[in-house]
Amino acid sequence: MTIPFKTTLPAQGLDSSDEKAVALLAATKQSMGMVPNMYANMANHTAMLETYSFGYKAFRQEGGFTPAEQEVVFMAVSYENGCNYCMGAHSFLADKMSGVPTAVTDAIREGGVVDDEKLGALHRFTSAMMVGRGRPSQAEVEEFLAAGYTERHILSIILAISVKTISNYSNHIFDTPLDAAFQSRAWEPALATV
């Protein structure tokens, strides 16, 4: 079995010698009330953290999805990428902030079927986009559109995949520990496709 690489770069903090990193982390703390471990790690490359933050905010504000739908998309991508950090964090957000029914969150976490018709279609399509590397079939698109989504939503999913690729992959490299705030929804990728 191949042993995954883990970077030796240290998490950055508000006491970092990199002024740009400090400014980005201070803004994160102001908006979130904390500096999640993932952000502290990404601050080692401020352009990456800026890009992630910009894309994440744009998806949240302009993606055309409800908060519950946003979490379904983020969780579907993170599941396919086997990112325990993002699955734990987004499961917590789904439960506490975004109004995702627990049965939906748990189905995604377990690699199961989402029974909610619309959220299920969103989950299946997002997963299809991941597995097919951005090449959905005509039938997959038709099912997605029949559930009430649009072709513009497909572009929003591509944006979410881009953002989650940044966070999921950096979490893999750092083996980012889940913050205490999210521990109630810790997840291990034992059932993931990765």
Q: Model confidence over 34-69: pLDDT tens digits?
A: 999 999 999 999 999 999 999 999 999 999 999 999
Q: What is the pTM of this model?
A: 0.93
Could you tell me the CATH superfamily of domain 65-191? AhpD-like (1.20.1290.10)
pLDDT < 50 stretches in the chain: 191-194
Q: How high is the pLDDT of residue 118? A: 97
Nearest residue to 32 (alpha-carbon basis) of 164, 179, 183, 171 = 179
Q: How high is the pLDDT of residue 3? A: 86
Torsion of CA 134, 137, 143, 145, to 10 degrees: 60
- Amino acid identity of residue 22, one-letter, is V
Nearest residue to 56 (alpha-carbon basis) of 178, 164, 133, 137 = 164
Q: How high is the pLDDT of residue 121? A: 98
54: which residues sit within 8 A by CB, 6+ positions away? Answer: none
Share of the chain above pLDDT 70, in %: 97
Distance of CA 15 to the CA centre of its chain: 27
